[in-house]
Structure 1
């Protein structure tokens, strides 16, 4: 790998880490609210959260690029506060990544929250636990696996971004140039040897991440688990 590729690797890992942390902070209350919301408008909110799953990345990137420009309020406010332009910065690709990877964090958490036994929360409330205590002592321990799954999927999805990052971040080394863009650069330059290395690394990394997620969520069929338990205990299987 070239020096620029190592810089792209560092930028990619930094982007994925920062995005995943922010997604957990932002996505957890969104998932909790959706899991408790009883309204016909809930489907609209769920559709908005899930929109990046079907929306072309370049469409999302295009509208974010407009919003981030100094001519519009979000970009103007950012420039007034920080003194720097938001578009084509690391902050821009973090914000874009949050939008693009949001459903990969919200949906696993929402499903886990919806499956919680409400009786446990009522009992915790009767014992004097406030909402934060209930979440810390009841909700999180019971949904810890879903939090790990959500964080893993959010991290992996961010690593694979291309269209959104290119639209709002460009191709600036050590700032917005990530591995997917580095791979594109090598292909454009007909440097297939380096392209193969990056592509193979991304392929194996994605496979390992998905395998870890499926292994984490793997549940043996009850009959098989019971049979194996009986065998271990020397019992007969009927």
Structure 2
């Protein structure tokens, strides 16, 4: 019996993606504003400023777009991953009782996911960051998983550029200006927030995915 595409992987992936977005968005907002470089000295000061000026709603700014788009992105990613893995295992092992995928099967399925989803994440991230940078006054200064990297800081600054003013001419100019004005530490802004948000986001995504998958399959 040949492998066939199963829609439940896509539906469960959407549930997992939605759960991950809701859990991780407040910390993602804090990380984005820290990295964009608009007057926040540290994580606590950023959190308190957002809460003071925008209340709890400020942490969920721009949630609707990633809730729809990133949930769909995860739906596609996890759906493609689950189905690709089944097809690969079916092709390699047939119906001979092989119980689980080998590491090479997982790598191949992950590569398929990368090919399918490439180009989708960047536009989604761009809109999300622009929405997160909006404030009630619209003035400057009130503006994954794993640790934040220097390139993540540069990406956030470039994507946030133009919300209230245009400061950077390109990647190199952004790096130069950031270093000259704020020193080497600027490239590690948001590292702590990025690190801690990865755990609840990943947990929520895979727990939501697995529970939804079991519910859809009647297990």
Q: State TM-score, norm by structure 2.
A: 0.34
The higher radius of gyration belongs to: 1
Q: State TM-score, norm by structure 1.
A: 0.32
* Higher relative contact order, chain-length normalized (CA < 8 Å, sep 6+): 2
Structure having the larger proportion of residues in helix = 1
